[in-house]
Amino acid sequence: MVLRGYTLYITTSRRFVRVLDLSGGHEQGSSSFKETTRPFPMLSCYESCDSSIAVTTSGEVLLVESDPWNRTWFRVYKKNPDLKNPDSSCHTVLEVDSLGGEALLLDLGFTVPANDTLGIEPDSIYFTRHYRPSQWRGRDLDICVYNLASKSLKRFSDLDSPSPMAMETKTHLLEVLQTEILGRLPLKTISRFKSVCKKWKSTIESTYFRRLFFISEPKLLLFMYGRDELIVFHGHKTWDDLPKSPVSLIPHSFRRYYIGDCDYRDSSGGLVLITDGSDKASCYVGSPVTQQWVKIPPPPSSDPKGDSTVFGLVTRLDEDGVVLSFKVIRIASYQATNDYLSSDLGVLLYSSETGVWTSKVIHSPHQIGDMSNINLNGTFYFGCLSVPGILLAHDFYSESDQFRVVQLPDYPDHNKDYKRTLTTSGGFVMYARTLAKKEETVLKIWRLMNNDDYSWQLLWEVGFPITGNYAPMAMHPFDVATVYLWSQRDHHLVSCNLLKGNYTILGDAANDGHQDCFIDKSVCKQSVDELWRSSSDLDEDLNFQVCIWLFQFVIPRWMESVPRPPQAEMIDTTSLLSYAAATHGRMMKDIEEEEYFWNEDDGKSCIGYEGKGDARVLKDMEFDGMVPSLGSNK
């Protein structure tokens, strides 16, 4: 077996590998560990050889074989990704002659980055040969190195030698063990250890350590509808002093007073976008966890009327999910074209890489239905007003000035009993659909492939023995085998494991003591009933409804600093809160000094003021009055 962070890899007697998450904090009624995937076989054609498993820095499982007596040769295998039915196959692995530039510490069962300075060679296996009693050898430490590329074996330098190389190598091996221990600590504790010394700071900020931490990192996420907090999953071991609800990290003053100071607008990659209710030109991007905020400068002279509205936030992530850059999106105009068949969306973009605003007009072959959307990897996905069964997608990091049309995978199936939602999981856009049958609920999941034609891949079609009216809420953002359903009949949340085909009913922590899932049942009931209202009286095309209003907020996976644009002003949360309070105070004082009244404007209620000057009317603040037909889901 191999323990890597909080993940335990076990080989069974039949050479199947089980992967267990020991972090705790799992669903109610489960044990203190969770099996993260189905057991999978690691079978080669040499079953009589001495074998063990190892885990790379990316979490890939390897099978390692050698001769059982002298260990003069090794073979390394990885899973065969093209095998359709590995459970019934005799050979399930492919032999490799490379470790991806890493070195394998066989006795510990994991790989580490190579280090030429210390003599830690890439694509090599480091192991000891003294521990087997059957060999009747002395107890002197005998470390050997087997190079996979050259198939050569040599003895490693004597660690007892007083030479500088031996001392540095011994130190390096101790640091490897130290890194493994640090990787099992909560993130806030790790961040404090960066101040111990330069060496620890360098280790903690390394890509190797970050990947090690991500393997063991429990997740923390929040599902929202508009500004209502519906469901919270709290991974308490990652951030050891977080409140139970991550939404409380976003101060209430950021989430809009009735006539407000600061407004929570959007989130991406763990960063949050907030706007200033009293000054449409101002907004901020930051991390509620690290408490760092970037003050975004006002839009440029290309927005002379100041009519643009802060709309959204997109981020560019590296392969480990760490934010490299962000862009703030302001909508400047929306215009229907070609007799209302198509449309143009004018936007202003602020880039953290350049620190400047740019403008572009994005052309759509159809009208955008509303501003409800999901965003992933810099791309926004919108619904369509005039054509059912499609999405409009645009990558705001691209140079393109066109929306791309994405055909939904089950259109034109107009079954009014289907409940559909668009969500994200595992770095992909996911499309989930439920159908209530007499004795079960059938769940189908498609994944939008990251290719040029935006094709869909059917991942799951599973029936669960639960009856009633179940609506798909969302999927776990990192685990593509976990989907959450809400029972409109019984008003509870169900977590479905697509791999095992089982499910767990999740309750409210206030009632049943389950401390890792928090559900506002009254808000869930109201929101779900609103989203999946009865469509029996609608025409056929309007029956094809897809929910794209549920919003995921995920706490940052790493304590990386917020990307700082050139010449940008950085402030902390305390300063931002002080500013918000002062702004709200000024707004309330202005209201007290003027006569507050309601008036009717063409049958629509609006808020008005009558003071010393002319009467002035505030427009509907839902979309700042710019495009009344478009509504924000944020």
Peptide bond into 477 cis (omega under 30): no
Overall average pLDDT of the 242-246 stretch:
45
Better-scored residue on pLDDT, 17 or 158: 17
Query: What's the pLDDT score for residue 230?
Result: 65
The tokens for 337 are 């074209």
Nearest CA-CA partner of 21 in 43, 36, 1, 11: 36
Query: Is 530 in a helix, a strand, or coil?
Result: helix
Nearest CA-CA partner of 582 in 241, 349, 277, 343: 277
**Which of 96-105, 292-301, 382-391 is least confident?**
382-391
Q: What is the 3-state secondary structure (H, E, C) of 359-411?
A: EEEEEECCCEEEEEEEEECCEEEEEECCCCCEEEEEECCCCCCECEEEECCCC
**Mean pLDDT of all residues belonging to the chain:** 75
- Residue 256 reports pLDDT greater than 50: no
Overall average pLDDT of the 17-22 stretch:
85
In the sheet that holds 550-554, the strands lie side by side as 517-519, 228-233, 221-225, 550-554
pLDDT by residue (tens digit) across 357-407?
Answer: 999 999 999 988 777 788 888 999 988 767 888 899 999 999 999 999 999
Decide if 535 contacts 545 (C-beta within 8 A): yes
- From residue 363, alpha-carbon distances to 96, 348, 405, 581, 628 in Å are 48, 14, 11, 40, 20
Give the separation between CA 1 and CA 621, rounded to whole angstroms. 58
In this prediction, residue 218 has a pLDDT band, given cuts at 50, 70 and 90, of very low
**Which of 209-213, 319-323, 477-481 is least confident?**
209-213
Better-scored residue on pLDDT, 352 or 529: 352
pLDDT by residue (tens digit) across 181-197?
Answer: 777 677 667 777 888 88
In this prediction, residue 619 has a pLDDT band, given cuts at 50, 70 and 90, of very low
Q: What is 62-97 written as a DSSP string?
A: EEEEE-TTT---EEEEEE-TT-S-GGG-S--EEEES
Decide if 209 contacts 194 (C-beta within 8 A): no
Give the separation between CA 464 and CA 502, rounded to whole angstroms. 7
For residue 216, give the H/E element and its range. Answer: helix 207-216
Give the separation between CA 587 and CA 593, rounded to whole angstroms. 10
Query: Is 117 in a helix, a strand, or coil?
Result: coil
Overall average pLDDT of the 258-287 stretch:
75
Task: Give residue limits of the domains in the chain.
Answer: 219-249+409-545, 257-407+558-596
Query: What's the pLDDT score for residue 204?
Result: 81
Residue 409: how many CB atoms within 10 A of its CB? Answer: 17
Q: Scan for tokens 């620190």, then name that residue.
A: 355
Indicate left, alpha or beta for 416 from its phi (over 0: left) and psi (-120 to 50: alpha): alpha
State residue 292 phi and psi, 5-degree precision: -110, 135
- In whole angstroms, what separates CA 338 from the centre of its chain? 39
In this prediction, residue 302 has a pLDDT band, given cuts at 50, 70 and 90, of low
- Residue 299 reports pLDDT greater than 80: yes
pLDDT by residue (tens digit) across 416-425?
Answer: 888 889 999 8
Overall average pLDDT of the 499-511 stretch:
70
